[in-house]
């Protein structure tokens, strides 16, 4: 930026020069605010990057029904070939105690959905701490986010694969309901992770209850989701096609509490937070929020 540029009037409307306002090294960041969730929501879709983020969420959520339809079609083909019938129905939440991984892209869609549904957001913020404490007491079996390649690599090594399988089983046996359940039903059904949509059973629903493990060996489950079904929409920063997965509820909470900073770290995009925070529109929104 030239000397003339930094001496221009700041675009945030403060009346000060850019170098002494949003261009200052002392410009505020959202992480300094105690009410980070509200502030991150306020600035989520501000500025150039924010608008790209919002457009990405709109396009991604518009594509999700197509993926769900593909999954459903595959499921029907799989069970029809066995002359069976899908048992899953609304109100059955036995599989909602499983470890569910989601990508940052899927978590962004969930957060976008929450931002437009106050009751749902409030419910999650109330139920998440209770869920998180139970997971922590259970040993915190899943902590680190994984890239798609990292997950594949772990699956190709016997010891790592067996360890992961053991953790998945151990977690399911703890019977910790997903914090996004409301009255036994998924509150984010229209934007649920694809792995959730991909699993169905044809045996009685009660056989999926982890409290009755003697049925597990007889349960007939089908997984219809494949990575190739994932929406072909580049990430809103750097047009990245990188997929990073993590424990869905924790990932969603991290985005709600950490905003762009959390996404930047998860995706390994160090400049994203910097580029977002130096946007005059974002800085103006932060100052307006703090002046209230």
pLDDT digits (tens, 9 = 90+) for 95-146: 999 999 999 999 999 999 999 999 999 999 999 999 999 999 877 666 555 5
Q: Of 121-125, 223-227, 287-291, which range is least confident?
A: 287-291
Query: Are the CB atoms for 39 and 277 separated by under 8 Å?
Result: no
Query: Are the CB atoms for 265 and 22 separated by under 8 Å?
Result: no
Q: Of 26-35, 39-48, 150-159, 271-280, which range is least confident?
A: 150-159
End-to-end, the C-alpha distance of the chain in Å comes to 32
Cβ contacts of residue 206 below 8 Å, gap of 6+? 94, 212, 215
Q: Return the pLDDT at 143.
A: 59
Q: Residue 93 burial (CB < 10 Å; 0-12/13-18/19+)?
A: middle
**Is the backbone of residue 2 left (phi > 0), alpha (psi -120 to 50) or beta?**
beta
Residue 224 pLDDT > 50, yes or no?
A: yes
Q: Return the pLDDT at 292.
A: 73
18/4 Cα distance (integer angstroms):
10
Q: Return the pLDDT at 6.
A: 52
Query: Are the CB atoms for 128 and 251 separated by under 8 Å?
Result: no
Q: Return the pLDDT at 158.
A: 43
Residue with tokens 């139920």, as numbered in its chain: 127
Q: Residue 41 burial (CB < 10 Å; 0-12/13-18/19+)?
A: middle
Mean pLDDT of the chain: 84
Query: Are the CB atoms for 100 and 196 separated by under 8 Å?
Result: yes
User: Residue 229 — pLDDT band, cuts 50, 70, 90?
Assistant: very high
User: Among 53, 43, 49, which residue's Cα sits nearest to residue 283?
Assistant: 43
Buried residues in 136-152 as b, exposed as e (16+ CB within 10 A): eeeeebbeebbeeeebe
162/155 Cα distance (integer angstroms):
8
Can you state the angle between helices 270-277 and 47-80, rounded to 10 degrees? 130
134/76 Cα distance (integer angstroms):
36
62/231 Cα distance (integer angstroms):
10
């Amino acid at each position: 930026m030239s000397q003339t540029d930094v001496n221009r009037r700041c675009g945030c409307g403060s009346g000060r020069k850019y170098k002494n306002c949003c261009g200052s090294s002392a410009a505020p960041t959202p992480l300094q605010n105690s009410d980070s969730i509200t502030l991150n929501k306020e600035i989520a879709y501000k500025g150039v990057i924010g608008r790209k983020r919002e457009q990405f969420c709109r396009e991604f959520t518009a594509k999700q029904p197509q993926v769900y339809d593909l999954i459903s079609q595959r499921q029907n083909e799989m069970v029809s070939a066995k002359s069976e019938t899908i048992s899953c129905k609304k109100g059955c939440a036995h599989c909602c105690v499983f470890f569910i991984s989601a990508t940052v892209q899927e978590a962004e869609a969930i957060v976008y959905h929450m931002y437009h549904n106050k009751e749902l957001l409030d419910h999650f913020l109330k139920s998440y701490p209770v869920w998180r404490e139970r997971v922590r007491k259970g040993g915190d079996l899943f902590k680190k986010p994984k890239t798609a390649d990292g997950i594949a690599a772990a699956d190709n090594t016997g010891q790592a694969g067996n360890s992961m399988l053991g953790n998945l089983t151990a977690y399911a046996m703890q019977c910790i309901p997903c914090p996004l359940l409301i009255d036994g039903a998924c509150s984010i059904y229209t934007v649920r992770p694809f792995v959730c949509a991909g699993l169905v059973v044809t045996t009685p629903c009660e056989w999926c209850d982890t409290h009755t493990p003697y049925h597990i060996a007889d349960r007939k489950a089908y997984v219809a989701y494949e990575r190739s079904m994932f929406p072909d929409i580049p990430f809103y920063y750097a047009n990245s096609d990188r997929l990073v997965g993590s424990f869905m509820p924790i990932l969603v909470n991290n985005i709600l509490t950490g905003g762009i900073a959390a996404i930047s770290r998860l995706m390994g995009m160090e400049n994203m937070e910097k580029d977002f925070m130096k946007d005059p529109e974002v800085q103006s929104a932060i100052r307006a929020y703090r002046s209230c």
